[in-house]
Amino acid sequence: MTPEPLLSVRDLNVSFRTPDGVVHAVIDASFDIRPGEVLAVVGESGSGKSVTALALMQLHPKNTDITGSVTFDGRDVLSMSDDEMRSIRGQDIAMIFQDPMTALNPVFSVGHQIVEVIRLHSSVTKQGAWERAVDLLNLVGVPDPKARATQYPHEYSGGMRQRAMIAMAIANDPKLLIADEPTTALDVTVQAQVMEVLRDVQQETGSAMMLITHDLGVVAGSADRVQVMYGGRVMETGTVDEIFYETSNPYTTALLDSIPDLDGKKEELHPIPGNPPSLLKPPSGCPFRPRCAHAVDACAESVPQLEELVGTHASRCHRVAELYPSSEVMV
Amino acid sequence: MTTSEAVVGASTAMDADVPVLRVRNLVKEFPIRAGVFRRQVGSVKALSDVTLDVYPNETLGIVGESGCGKSTLGRSILRLVEPTSGTVMYGDEDVTTASRRRLRHLRASMQMVFQDPYASLNPRLPIGDTVSEPMRIHGIGKKEARERSGDLLERVGLLAEHGNRYPHEFSGGQRQRIGIARALALRPKLIVLDEPVSALDVSIQAQVLNLLDEIQDEFQLSYMFIAHDLSVVRYTSDRVMVMYLGCVAEIADSTTLYEAPAHPYTHSLLSAVPIADPRRERTRQRILLQGDVPSPANPPSGCRFHPRCPLAQDRCRTETPQLVEISPGHEVACHFPLTEGESLLQRVEAG
């Protein structure tokens, strides 16, 4: 039996009021994350993947309107006061950002910053918290953690900084880790190390993870389930195998066809024509319609629903039954 | 056509076996200065002894992690930074000793496309002017330059009338097309592409890669394709050179390099690349390199890769390996290169 979801998001809408008009960054997003599960959220810039995470953490800017419901561990996140939210952030839900240099405070030692996170949420002594900080740095593979804890972020390399960020994020054994492009700023050999650390840590602590990325390779190597976003909407969702081997959405198919592979098997790349949609003036109907090779008149008339297919698979496409006959729409 | 022909006068039909570009023992050191008097206290060895050839109509991929010197290499070849020593020959002409006047002429044949399409276009110049500016500098009349810039914009997938618009009106992918049109303006023979698609979204990357592929045939271009994305490099390149901390680690045709890498670094680099195939990711045996790339200001002794190399022996710590040809066209700088079909993992397990 599938356990109760840890995080349950229903009809989440996030929009920004800007001088040019209202930007609908996330539209009707619904998804669950179960305990211990890794959900990868994939999309290009402007697809709404990072905004979704910021809204869950209530870290969005002031000009933001959020509707829908976000239930975390049985509690309604969107109606929480700032104080309640603060007690959850860094404790039950922790976030790892893309750029550790801007996310770490340059004037405090790394150890000090981890101690701060620990002491904010539990009443341990400074001494005890420092020891825990050193243990955490050790856990994420920072060599010589005792000495490294006293150093400042600028004394760390990019990969080490990202490890320090992970140590900080897992300091209070969060139930959910949100990692927003955690390896995008890193070199490929360091990326492999950091992803390994993240996987180990996630398995050791049993926490769930929401992994936001644009890299389909990272998704394939780390995710249990995948959610593909485009133009603020969830286009397809399913297990990692369902998404890669039983792809049932024209956008996901086009995305997979447009990336070169390491084996050199792809003779030619099939780019997706055009540009991602404007969120200020989104196209009518399906957001992918203007770039979709399979678009018909109906696609301009209404936005397709996210239809459930066999298994845990769902796709947002008017022509899903016709284009992907093996996917079987559930009736 | 007289003026335009004069500019491209150097570019006659080329022999496919004669390199367009020959780089020999190229070295670039950046001084490190400190103190009140900005005294030089050391140097960053960004490039040490890089030797390579680029043949007509081929794409030479240059891969490596940050700090490996791949961008400095591209810039030194065009003398956007002055090399410390070594030679760069374009045809029969030495770029490194060319006068400013001669250099300007040479740069008509060697162009560059930069990584960041947001920073590499003048925001206050209509894009038509950005594309026609190089032609104006090289003495092509206003009217002809404008016409040709319109043609080029159309060739790269924009409209001629877009020439009056400013860079901010374009998306990242479109801006990169503008950068390509500018590079094509003087009908060059060689284009250095420095991470041309890494700032773009995946769906847009393929558009630009395909465009580069088309114009290569059409304009008979040689590319130096500098990138950190190994999948992109495999797709675009005929030959690939792997760099590590300013040195050439390995160079081979693209199939050999990816299928039978001989340098342990190339092997571990390939093994670190995530593959968009969940089943393969689950069964894959990875070689995880320890640590980060060391600082090029203080590179390790001997083989620069030895502190991270799973095969390192005493000899690697003291003696710098030379680039040796192990099979035709396949050169590797390693004391203990892997043989064909041998994986790094097997070697590590065998001790």
Selecting from B66, B210, B275 the residue whose C-beta is nearest the C-beta of A220 gives: B275
pLDDT by 10s per residue, chain A, length 331: 467 899 999 999 999 999 988 999 999 999 999 999 999 999 988 899 999 999 999 988 889 999 999 999 999 999 999 999 998 998 999 999 888 778 899 999 999 999 999 999 888 999 999 999 999 999 888 888 999 999 999 988 888 898 999 999 999 989 999 999 998 878 888 888 889 888 988 888 889 999 999 999 999 999 999 999 999 999 999 999 999 999 999 999 999 999 998 887 777 889 999 888 888 888 999 999 999 999 999 999 999 999 999 889 999 999 999 999 887 665 5
**Chain A neighbors of B275, CB-CB under 8 A:** 217, 220-221, 261-262
Question: Model ipTM?
Answer: 0.85
Establish if A154 touches chain B: CB-CB under 8 angstroms: no
- Residue entry with tokens 């570019």: B11
Query: Is A3 part of the contact surface with chain B (CB cutoff 8 Å)?
Result: no
pLDDT, position B350: 80
Residue of A nearest to B283 (CA): A221
Q: Which two tokens stand for residue B199?
A: 């700032």
CB contact under 8 A, A271 and B203: yes
Q: How far apart are CA B207 and CA B177, in angstroms?
A: 10
Verify whether the Cβ–Cβ distance B281 to A221 is below 8 Å: yes
Residues A203 and A197: their CA atoms lie apart, in Å, by: 10
In this prediction, residue B10 carries a pLDDT of: 45
What predicted TM-score, i.e. pTM, was given to this entire model?
0.89
Q: Are A25 and A14 in contact (CB under 8 A)?
A: yes
pLDDT score recorded for residue B203: 85
Separation between Cα atoms, residue A284 and residue A216, nearest integer Å: 28
On whether the CB atoms of residues A214 and A288 are closer than 8 A, the answer is: no
Q: Are B267 and B344 in contact (CB under 8 A)?
A: yes
Q: List, for chain B, all residue ranges whose pLDDT scores fall below the cut of 50.
A: 1-12
Nearest to A259 among B174, B202, B268 (CB): B202
Residue of chain B whose Cα is closest to the Cα of A159: B292
Chain A and chain B share a number of CB contacts under 8 A equal to 135
The reported pLDDT for the residue numbered B346 is 84
**Is residue A101 less than 8 Å (CB to CB) from chain B?**
no
Angle, vertex CA B166, rays to CA B163 and CA B167, nearest 5: 110
d(C-alpha B116, C-alpha B107), whole Å: 21
Q: Read off the amino acid at residue B218.
A: E
Q: CA of A210 to nearest chain B CA: how many angstroms apart?
A: 17
Spell out the alpha helix ranges (H) of chain B. Answer: 2-7, 70-77, 100-107, 127-137, 142-155, 172-184, 202-219, 230-236, 254-259, 264-272, 278-283, 314-318, 344-350
Which of 215-234 (A) contact B at CB < 8 A?
215-221, 223
pLDDT, position B3: 43
pLDDT at A96: 92
Is the Cβ of A255 closer than 8 Å to some Cβ of chain B?
yes
